[in-house]
Amino acid sequence: MAGHFPFSGKANRISVYAFFEAHNWSLDAQEKYYELWYQWTKDFVMKDPDLLASKGPLFKGDIFGQHADHNFHLHDYIWATQLLDLGEFIKGSIMPKLSHDALHTLEHLHEGWIAAADAVATAHPRPAAPEIGRYRHV
């Protein structure tokens, strides 16, 4: 399974950010991609009795994790950090519950999510890179 999703394997915020860079996604496209993962995760949690009881309250808003709604990097690159928080939850709590067929279905959904984010990136292109590295802290 490692490598299929940006948070699979030994992922960190830099590897997730590299995934976004490889796709040349603007912040709008990164946000769209995050929103698709978040909605899928929230739907899964709300349908699973165990996860609903233990993690349901964490899905009351539109974002998830310790970095939710915090932008502490220069140039507004917050979605890689937020996706990593969500991805760690998916990797540790949801993926072990998925059957082979469910994982295959998720891979197909993921292809559509990449296409959706690509469409947003086309409408809202990524600005040119600044002289200061994108992931420096404020």
User: Domain segments of the chain: what residues?
Assistant: 13-123
Q: Residue 15 corresponds to which tokens in the numbers above?
A: 């590897």
- Asked whether the CA dihedral 35, 37, 41, 44 is positive or negative, the reply is positive
CA distances from 71 to 8, 39, 60, 116, 119 (A): 23, 21, 20, 24, 24
Q: What is the pLDDT of residues 77-136, one digit of tens each?
A: 688 888 988 999 999 999 999 999 999 999 999 999 999 999 999 999 988 766 666 555
- What pTM does this model have? 0.83
Q: Beta partners for 137?
A: 73
Closest C-alpha among 9, 20, 3, 2 to residue 80: 20
- At residue 65, the 3 state secondary structure works out as coil
